Amino acid sequence: MESTTTESCSAEEEDSSDSEVACLMRVGKKSEWLRLFGNTEVTVGRGVNVTYQLLSASCPLMISRLHCTFKKRKDDGQWTVTDKKSLNGVWVNGNRIPADEAHLLRLGDSIQLGVPVMGSKVEFDYVLVQQPLKDIKLHLAKTHKEGATAAAITESSKRKMTMEEDEPSTSKPKLYRRSSSDKSLAKACPPPLKKCQLQQSRSQPEETASGRHFRLLTMYSQNILLLREQVDDTQRRVASLEGEDQQGDPLVRERVQELQSQLGTLRGKMHQMETLKKSFSERRWPEVRKTQQEEQMRQQLNDALQEQKKVIVEHALSRQAFEKILSAKNKELEATKEEKERARAQKDEVVTQMTEVLENELQCIICSELFIEAVTLNCAHSFCSYCITQWRKKKEECPICRQAITSQSRCLALDNFIERMMENLSLDVKEKRQSVINERKGERCVCDARLDRKALEC
C-alpha cells in the first residue's frame, strides 16, 4: 500500500509538536497512519485527486477512486466519516455505514475500508486516536506539498494536471509522478503481478490448486479493469491537452507527448494482460471440463443414491403395511381357531353327555353294551336279542322284574335311534360295538350249525 497527500494544510503544519492531533492508527503497523486535518476535508481513495491515496496490493479495485471523506464539525469538534458510494463500503465497529451520510466518530472507533479477501483480514483497518504530534510523527504517512508544482503548472497551462503515469524501465521501479517537471514527488508503484502472485503463494502454501487458479483469474480480471480505467483517463487527458495551444506552450506539448507514450505503454500492458488471461483460461479449460464432468458424475451418483434410498424407504413402508395386514390376518385366524376349539369342545361335551345317556338308558343289563338287535318283552323291558335268547335257555322269566316271559318282539325304532346316535360317537366306541356284533354273529352261526346237526341226527 502506498499513501500520499495532494492537499496542503499550512495551518496544521505550524502546530507545535506538543499539540494533540487526530489520526487513523493503522492496526498491526507502526507506519502509514493517516493524520486528520481539522481545517479541511480529508479524502481517501485510490484516485489521484485525494488527500490519501490507498492502493491495495492483493485486490486493486478494493478501494474506490473516492472511497470516503473525513471532516471535523465546527460546532462540537467531533469527527465524521462519509461513504462516497464506494463498492466495498466503510465499516465502523463492524457495521457498514450508509452511503452519502455523515457518521459520527468517537475516539477508539474501528474504521475498516473494504472487506476481507479469501478469508484474510481486512487490509485497511484503522482506529481513531488523538495523541501528541511528537509521539505519532514518525508513524504518519508521508505528506507532500504541491505549492511549487501547482504554481509551475498554473503559470504554464492555467490548470492543475494530476494523473498516474507508468514509465517502462528494466532497472528501476515504475513511478507515479505528479508532473514531468517535478521529479521529487515520484513514488514506487505497486509490485508487478508475478511478485504479488509469488508472495501470496508463499504466504498460503496450503491453498488448493483450484483456489489458486480462481484467485489468479480474478487478479487478471481486476488488473485488466484497472488498466482500462487508466487508459481511459489518459485518453481523456490527452484529448483535453490537445485542444489547448501547443504552439505557445512547449511544456504542454511535451506533456502531450509523454501522455501519448504512456498511453501506448498502458495499451501494451493491457494487451499483454488479456493475452495472459486468455492463455490461462485455455490451459484451465480441460481441467474445468474435467471438474464439471466429475461434478456431473457425482451429482448423478448422488441422484442414484437418493433414488435407491427412496426405493428402500418405499419397500420398508410396503413391508410394514404387509406385516400389519399379516398380523391382522393372524389375529383373525387365531380368533377363528379359538372359536373352532370352543365349538369342538362344546361338541365333545355334547357327545360325552349323549354317550353317558346312551350308556345309562340304552344299555343292556345282561351284557352291559348298547342294545344290539333290541327286543322288548311282554313286561316292557328291553334286551339284546342274543342276550335274552341265551338267558331264556336258563330261565323263562324277565331278568329285571322276574315276570314270566310270554312274548318278545323286535324294537326297530330303538335300533335305528342307536345307530343314528353311534354316528356321532368316537371311533373307538364304533369299533368296539362292531367287534361285539361280529362276535355274536359268529356264535350264532355256531349255534345254528349245532342245531342243524341235531336235527339231522334225529
Instruction: Give all domains of the chain, ordered by start, each with its CATH number.
Output: 1-145 (2.60.200.20), 362-457 (3.30.40.10)
**What is the Cα–Cα distance from 201 to 193, expressed in whole angstroms?**
12
Q: What is the mean pLDDT of residues 296-315?
A: 91
**What is the Cα–Cα distance from 234 to 259, expressed in whole angstroms?**
7
Q: What is the 3-state secondary structure (H, E, C) of 358-410?
A: HHHHCECCCCCCECCCEEEECCCCEEEHHHHHHHHCCCCECCCCCCECCCEEE
Confidence of residue 323 (pLDDT cuts 50, 70, 90): very high
Q: What is the mean pLDDT of residues 399-422?
A: 90
The answer to whether 397 and 404 have CB atoms below 8 angstroms apart is: yes
pLDDT at 182 (0 to 100): 37
Confidence check: pLDDT of 183 > 50: no
Confidence check: pLDDT of 25 > 60: yes
Give me the residue label for grid cell 474445468: 288
φ, ψ of residue 170 in degrees (nearest 5): -95, -20
pLDDT at 225 (0 to 100): 77
Confidence check: pLDDT of 277 > 80: no
pLDDT higher at 458 or 110: 110
**What is the Cα–Cα distance from 223 to 399, expressed in whole angstroms?**
139
110-113: strand order across its sheet: 34-36, 20-26, 124-132, 110-113, 90-92, 95-96
| Residues present in the chain in total | 458
Confidence check: pLDDT of 104 > 90: yes
Residue 291 in grid coordinates: 471438474
**What is the Cα–Cα distance from 291 to 280, expressed in whole angstroms?**
16
The answer to whether 36 and 143 have CB atoms below 8 angstroms apart is: no
Q: What is the mean pLDDT of residues 179-190?
A: 36
Confidence check: pLDDT of 406 > 80: yes
**What is the Cα–Cα distance from 58 to 432, expressed in whole angstroms?**
115
Q: Give CA angle at 183 (182, 188), nearest 5°.
A: 130
Residue 408 in grid coordinates: 318278545
| Of residues 389, 371, 349, 382, the one with CA closest to residue 433 | 371
Query: E-assigned strands of 190-294?
Result: none
Element (H, E) at 437: helix 427-457
Confidence check: pLDDT of 357 > 60: yes
Residue range 116-171, pLDDT digits in tens: 887 788 889 999 999 888 888 888 877 533 433 433 343 344 343 334 434 333 33
The answer to whether 111 and 54 have CB atoms below 8 angstroms apart is: no
pLDDT higher at 57 or 372: 372
Residue range 212-238, pLDDT digits in tens: 666 666 776 777 777 777 777 777 877
This prediction's pTM: 0.35
**What is the Cα–Cα distance from 383 to 411, expressed in whole angstroms?**
10
Element (H, E) at 92: strand 90-92
pLDDT higher at 15 or 133: 133
pLDDT at 217 (0 to 100): 66
Cβ atoms within 10 Å, residue 451: 10
pLDDT at 287 (0 to 100): 76
Give me the residue label for grid cell 485518453: 235
Residue range 375-398, pLDDT digits in tens: 999 999 999 998 998 899 899 999
pLDDT at 243 (0 to 100): 66
Average pLDDT of the chain, as a whole number: 77
Confidence check: pLDDT of 3 > 70: no
pLDDT at 170 (0 to 100): 36
